[in-house]
């Protein structure tokens, strides 16, 4: 499994640590992914940029 970037992760859950000073990241879950895909789909249908 390739690991992209060098972000801090919790050793037990392997989730990004939400800490700016250690270059942590935000969690991007399934619902956030679905909302993003829905907005891209809607933009594609309407022809808006």
* pLDDT at site 2: 52
* Phi, psi (deg, nearest 5) at residue 7: -80, 150
- pLDDT for 3-39, tens place per residue? 556 667 778 888 777 666 655 556 678 888 898 888 8
pLDDT of residue 5: 61
Contacts of 45 (CB under 8 A, 6+ apart): none
- pTM to 2 decimal places: 0.38
Rounded to an integer, what distance in angstroms lies between the CA atom of residue 42 and that of residue 27? 24
Residue 39: predicted pLDDT: 84
User: Hey, is 9 helix, strand or coil?
Assistant: strand
In the chain, where are the structural domains located?
8-49
| Residue 6: predicted pLDDT | 64
Is the pLDDT at 47 greater than 70? The verdict is no
């Amino acid at each position: 499994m390739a690991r992209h970037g060098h972000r801090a992760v919790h050793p037990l859950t392997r989730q990004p640590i939400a800490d700016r000073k250690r270059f942590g990241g935000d969690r991007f879950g399934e619902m956030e992914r679905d909302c993003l895909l829905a907005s891209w789909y809607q933009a594609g249908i309407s022809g808006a940029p």
